[in-house]
Amino acid sequence: MNLKAFLEKYPWSDWSIDVASHRIVENLWVFELPVSREELWPYIADTSRTNSLLGLPEMKFEEKEGRLFGSTSYAGIFHEWEEVPWQWRMPEELISVRLYSKGLGSMVRGIFLLERLEEQKTRVHIYFGWVANSLFGATFLKIGMSRTRKGFERVLNQYVAEIQKARTGSTAITTIERPALELQDKARSIVDSTRAEWAKAGIPSDIQDKLVHIITHWDDVDLYRIRPIALAHQLGAEPKAILRALLHGCHTGLFNLTWDVICPHCRGVREEKGSLLKLDARGSCDVCQIDFDATGEQSIEITFHVNASVRNVKKQFFCSAEPARKPHIVLQDRLAPGQSRSLNLELDPGRYRARIQGNQNFFWLEATPSGANEFQWRSDGKTAEAAAVHSPVRMELVNTAEKAQTFVVDLSKADNEVLRPGDLFLVPEYKELFPDERLPDDLKIDIGVQTILFTDIVGSSKMYNELGDTGAFRRVRDHFAKIGDLVSKNSGNVIKTVGDAVFAAFGNSLDGFKAALALRERFSESDAPVAIRLSLHTGPCLAVNLDTGIDYFGNTVNLAAKLQAVAGASEIAFTGSALESALIRDELRHRGIKPMRVDLPEALRWVPEEVYRC
């Protein structure tokens, strides 16, 4: 596609620009790359990283009443602009527009178009069009843009090398490496004390080395906000090991932990809270024009930051890079009043949410082989509540409103690289290293589905009579230690103890069941000092603040505790939903265990599902 054909596809008239009466400076560069569009898209979308690799200066952004304003100095000339909401269609098209109040031009638009040639071959069109303010500005921009092509060629070749490397199993999306930072004495002392604590906690030496390396070598743009699960994937390490290391690093002053409030629409960080106690029940996003519940399961993410005493990591931008910050959004398109547009949209199989920005209402799009090939979406809501479409779908967007509207399609699936409160509370080190953390008394946060385990000593009254209070206390204390060890080995955590009972939680039912079986086996041995009964149930939970600190609350917890009544010594009582898991059925079959259905007593007839014990 030459420049003339490109401008027919993306005319200046869409922005009410008369080319004949303006000084237009524009360039179109075309590259053919031996990678697929899907592989290349994450790199193209991350324009901040690209601009950094191109050597462009840092940009500053400020949000005002839902609008984004930027500024930078380039070649000694100060530029200031308003960032128009980006438009993109994954993995094909990306459009960025800036309206300048200061600088060489009044407007610039950047367009990236990815054309599929073959399965592993893509033609990339990169276009920049400036509306210059003066003859000097036009001349300056022509000279500057002529030098940019070689920079893009270099960066794109680097991206291709990273993609091809990733095909062999290495992690894609490279970080920007800088020369090693020389740590000051105080920072070096903190690193040394952290290494000592890591060694004491059993953190593998290779993980220690990798974390120190990122602190001293990674660029600010990669290091500002550390997401433990994503970092583990980048480093080829176990997420739990990375998380444990970061928590111990907080204890020594190497890192800080923050509770980030996330907008449910754009998934952007709206606030960073340094403590649980500072969390609020409501949040807001001016960009998406919504208020939202800030206590939902998807509303809070835990991230880490390098402590300023070690390195002052700035929140750097080389571009607003909106598509890279919203990878769950596959389509964002802004239409003027009365405008309509037809486009082809590629969707992986799955469920998507279709919405108008600023509106809480949405409808579901299901991408399925049996879906429709064409679909019309009107901004006035006169669209089906749900629709099944076949990818690629020919979609017609119609803005019937008297103001501009932004059409958004996003993947409803949760980000699997987010560390949620429910995940963090299951890590024993968190409770040990942050003993004073607590929620506000009037706040409850949704921690999602948890598997709750209760244990209780059978015949405890007899034990107290035989051993006396002091002897019974020692035995119960040893009993708690053994339970805590087995719970931890199965990826769970003891939430609290009540009398001689233990209340533990797990992130999934298989881990909880394995822990229950291990506990039953341990306390069924001939030398076991006590016998125990166990009960399990899986369901949604809330985290609340009680006298003991962070506690779990809700019907799931209540039901798990009540099931103790139908378990005898060395028995596990559990709800039938556990048997829906093929992994649990296989585990029971492997051990030769056949669960028996329980005839519930009158007091438990309210339980909504069948109960078993084994």
Q: Please give the Cα distance from 404 to 390 (Å, whole number).
A: 28
Query: Is the domain of 159 the same as that of 19?
Result: yes
Give me the phi and psi of 157, to 5 degrees please.
-65, -35
Query: Is the domain of 160 the same as that of 190?
Result: no
**Res 318: pLDDT:** 57
Give me the phi and psi of 422, to 5 degrees please.
-60, -30
Contact (Cβ atoms closer than 8 angstroms) between residue 524 and residue 568: no
**Res 526: pLDDT:** 65
Query: Is the domain of 606 the same as that of 468?
Result: yes
Contact (Cβ atoms closer than 8 angstroms) between residue 221 and residue 320: no
Which CATH number characterizes residue 40's domain? Answer: 3.30.530.20
Residue 360's pLDDT band, with cuts at 50, 70 and 90, is confident
What contacts 541, CB < 8 A, 6 or more positions away?
422, 447, 448, 449, 450, 452, 505, 552, 553, 554, 556, 557
pLDDT of residue 165 exceeding 90, the answer is no
**104-144 tens-digit pLDDT:** 999 999 999 999 999 999 999 999 999 999 999 999 999 88
CA-based nearest residue to 416, from 557, 239, 559, 568: 239
Q: How far is CA 118 from the centre of its chain?
A: 32
**49-58 tens-digit pLDDT:** 899 889 899 8
* Amino acid making up residue 194: T
Q: Which of these three, 107, 138, 166, is where a domain ends? A: 166
Question: Over 297-362, what HEC string results?
Answer: CCCEEEEEEECCCCCCCCCCECCCCHHHHCCCEEEEEEECCCCEEEEEECCCCEEEEEEECCCCCE
Domain extent at residue 35? 3-166
Residue 408's pLDDT band, with cuts at 50, 70 and 90, is very high
Which CATH number characterizes residue 499's domain? Answer: 3.30.70.1230
**Res 289: pLDDT:** 80
* Whole-number average pLDDT of the chain: 89
Query: Is the domain of 459 the same as that of 578?
Result: yes
**25-44 tens-digit pLDDT:** 999 999 999 999 999 999 99
Query: Is the domain of 361 the same as that of 212?
Result: no
Query: Is the domain of 132 the same as that of 13?
Result: yes
How does strand 611-613 pair with strand 572-575? antiparallel
Query: Is the domain of 213 the same as that of 285?
Result: yes
3-state secondary structure of 267: coil
**421-444 tens-digit pLDDT:** 999 999 999 989 998 888 998 899
The answer to whether residue 202 sits within a structural domain is: yes
Query: Is the domain of 364 the same as that of 250?
Result: no
Query: Is the domain of 225 the same as that of 362?
Result: no
Query: Is the domain of 407 the same as that of 453?
Result: no
Query: Is the domain of 507 the same as that of 476?
Result: yes
Query: Is the domain of 294 the same as that of 368?
Result: no
Mean pLDDT of 567-596: 91
pLDDT of residue 378 exceeding 60, the answer is yes
Residue 297's pLDDT band, with cuts at 50, 70 and 90, is confident
Burial code (b: 16+ CB inside 10 Å, e: under 16) for 170-188 equals: eebbbeeeeeeeebeeebe
Q: Highest mean pLDDT range out of 34-38, 181-185, 458-462?
A: 34-38
The span from the first CA to the last CA of the chain, in angstroms, equals 69
The answer to whether residue 50 sits within a structural domain is: yes
Number of domains in the chain: 4
The answer to whether residue 362 sits within a structural domain is: yes
